[in-house]
Amino acid sequence: MNKEATYSMYVFSVALVMATSAYFVKVNNAAILFMGISWLFASAPKDKWNNLMSNKWIFLPISYFAIHVVSMMLSENSSEAWMQVQKKLSFFILPIFLITGPRLHKKALRSIFLLFGFSIALGALFFLLNALAVFTITGETAHFFYHDLVSAYGIHAVYFSIYCILGIFALLESATDPFFEWEDTYLYKTFLTGVFGIITIVLFLLSSKMALVAYSVLVLFRTAILLKSNFGVGGFSKWAWAALGLFIITGMAIAAPKITHRYQEITQNISAVNQQQFTYDSPLNGLTLRLIIWNQVFEIVEKENAYLMGVGNGDGQDKLNEAYAAIGLYTGNPDLNDMGYLEYNPHNQYVQEYLNTGIIGLAALLMLFVVGTLRAKTLAFLFFATMFVFGLASLSESVLQRQAGVVLFATMLGIILSNSGRANKPLNN
């Protein structure tokens, strides 16, 4: 194949990895394998080596992965540790593919982000139609909201909320950010507006507190940037952002009762956090449960004197399960195949990292966010949005404990870091 064909195949493979990462793990694994094959043919070994040697940030994701490999070796539960390392493998291979492979120029990035955005829109439309079908048959509206909207297909509501946010910005930024420098027909713009409208409605129906806060902040921030730069006072940009505002209002109107209910726990009494013992029927909400789990994490690390390296990525959950039983948290009913709170992770990526890999692992994770954010500032707003959403989501969910979180974050991080210290000149078309 000629150089242009191998480059196109490589670009398509990156788009495929992002487009499938929200859904089925096996399909996403196949896409990553395809990306690896495409990467082999996309550029010469010498170019790959030069790109690797000229990029000073490649050590960050590699170091983060290496810390988890060491943590695996220190874990007693070797099978769980190996599983955790497999999940983190994308932090090693995806940034290497993207940093050493040919640079993704603006036209390629636009294609990647549009395909990613459309893949999220298709998923969102499918979930809406499925909920509508269930409503038509049963008359129940529960399937329009939160986990019930997506859980039947093994998808977590918070993760898909993250994908919805980034899918919206992928479509909006591809069509309105000067970084991409393009225009399209009125018909296409209308179609594109409808697409991100569907995603926006689903985002509100999912009713993730974190996601809605992140989305609101990003929309306000992006709007302020556009107004300050006088970009978007006319043409499609003004139209698209005005439509976005309409979709936000519509989404809030539809989901308002559920959203209000989801936020009520923040104002509820959290005195249960100070209890030393619990019973199977102790009244706990999402906030109090998280605070209790975080307290247990800090006690485990202190008890094990594991401040530096943590208790091991294979043993962290086992230690938590033991702590849950010790303080009387509900541990399920085996006769009903109910595990209660067993296997509940900390629901905070920073606390999760501290438990599993200690201060060293936490510092490495924070470096990924800090450097990724600083580097993203010079690129399209979508890259900054990715760092912001994942950083904020990590406060309430262990978002990098599932492949859906790891693959998307590692891919976007790899694209961001690949724009640093290139040995070869960027393609501009």
What pLDDT is attached to residue 226?
67
| Domain-ending residue, one of 222, 252, 267 | 267
Q: Which two tokens stand for residue 256?
A: 């308002």
Distance CA 181, CA 321 (A): 53
| Half-sphere CA count of 33, side-chain side, radius 13 A | 6
CA angle 69, 71, 73 (to 5 degrees): 75
Greater confidence, 185 or 381?
Answer: 381
Question: Are 118 and 157 in a shared domain?
Answer: yes
| Count of CA atoms in the C-beta half-sphere (13 A) of 126 | 13
What does the pLDDT read at residue 244?
59
Q: What is the pLDDT of residues 99-155, one digit of tens each?
A: 999 999 888 898 899 899 999 999 999 999 999 999 999 988 888 888 889 987 888
Which pTM value belongs to this model?
0.88
Domain with 62 in it = 46-92+268-429
Q: Which two tokens stand for residue 246?
A: 């309409």
Q: Are residues 292 and 400 in the same domain?
A: yes
The residue-averaged pLDDT of 402-424 equals: 84
In a domain, 256, yes or no: yes
Whether residue 100 lies inside any domain: the answer is no
Task: Provide the number of structural domains found in the chain.
Answer: 3
Please tell me the predicted confidence (pLDDT) of residue 58. 92
C-alpha dihedral sign at 297, 303, 306, 308: positive
- Does 98 map to a domain? no
Residues 85 and 158 in one domain: no
Q: Quick one: 334 and 233 in the same domain? A: no
- Kindly report, residue by residue over 65-101, the tens digit of the pLDDT: 999 999 999 999 999 999 999 999 999 999 999 999 9
Cα angle, residue 120 at apex, residues 116 and 124 outer, rounded to 5°: 170
What is the model's pLDDT at position 235?
Answer: 45
Given the structure tokens 């003004």, which residue do they identify? 238
* DSSP 8-state class, residue 272: G
Least confident of 47-51, 201-205, 335-339, 365-369: 335-339
User: What residues have CB less than 8 Å from 417, skipping those under 6 apart?
Assistant: 55, 57, 58, 60, 61, 95, 98, 99, 371, 372, 375
Residue 243: which residues within 8 A CB-CB, separation 6 or more?
A: 193, 197
Q: 226, 243, 267 — which closes off a domain?
A: 267
Which residues pair with residue 333 across a beta bridge?
A: 338
Does one domain contain both 260 and 284? Answer: no
> How confident is the model over 167-189, as a mean pLDDT?
66
Task: Give the per-residue pLDDT at 236.
Answer: 47
In a domain, 97, yes or no: no
Q: Encode pLDDT of 200-235 as tens digits.
A: 889 988 878 888 888 888 887 877 776 666 544 444
Q: 318 and 177, same structural domain?
A: no
- Which H helix or E strand runs over 367? helix 349-376
8 Å CB contact between 175 and 183: no
- Cα(96)–Cα(109) distance, rounded to whole angstroms? 18
Question: CB of 55 within 8 A of CB of 422?
Answer: yes
Query: For the chain, what is the total number of helices (H) and then of strands (E)?
Result: 17, 0
DSSP string across 122-152: HHHHHHHHHHHHHHHHH---GGGSHHHHHGG
pLDDT-based confidence at 427, cuts 50/70/90?
very low
* Measured CA angle at 200 (ends 196, 201), to 5 deg: 120
Q: Of 196, 224, 201, 9, which Cα lies nearest the Cα of 120?
A: 196
Is residue 321 located within the same domain as residue 345?
yes
| Separation between Cα atoms, residue 242 and residue 176, nearest integer Å | 12
Same domain flag for 321 and 357: yes
Q: CA gyration radius for the chain? A: 22
- More confident site: 379 or 324: 324
| pLDDT at residue 229 in the model | 62
On whether both 110 and 221 belong to a single domain, the answer is yes
**Among 361, 360, 364, 355, which residue's Cα sits nearest to residue 310?**
355
Using DSSP's 3-state secondary structure scheme, residue 424 falls into coil
Averaged over 281-303, what is the pLDDT? 89
Give the span between the Cα atoms of 80 and 144, in whole angstroms. Answer: 35
Residue 214 inside a domain? The answer is yes
Of 416 and 176, the structure prediction assigns the larger pLDDT to: 416
366-373 long-range contacts, CB within 8 A, separation 24+: 367/60, 367/64, 368/60, 368/61, 368/64, 368/413, 371/57, 371/60, 371/417, 372/412, 372/413, 372/416, 372/417
Same domain assignment for residues 209 and 353 = no
Do 120 and 263 sit in the same domain of this protein?
yes
- Final residue of a domain: which of 221, 239, 267? 267
What is the rounded average pLDDT for all residues in the chain?
84
99 domain residue, yes or no:
no
Indicate the burial class of 45 (C-beta count within 10 angstroms; 0-12, 13-18, 19 or more): exposed
* Domain identity same for 326 and 369: yes
Q: 48 pLDDT exceeds 90?
A: yes
For residue 249, pLDDT beyond 50:
yes
221 is a domain residue: yes
What average pLDDT does range 387-397 have in this prediction?
95
Six-digit token string for 378: 């010079």
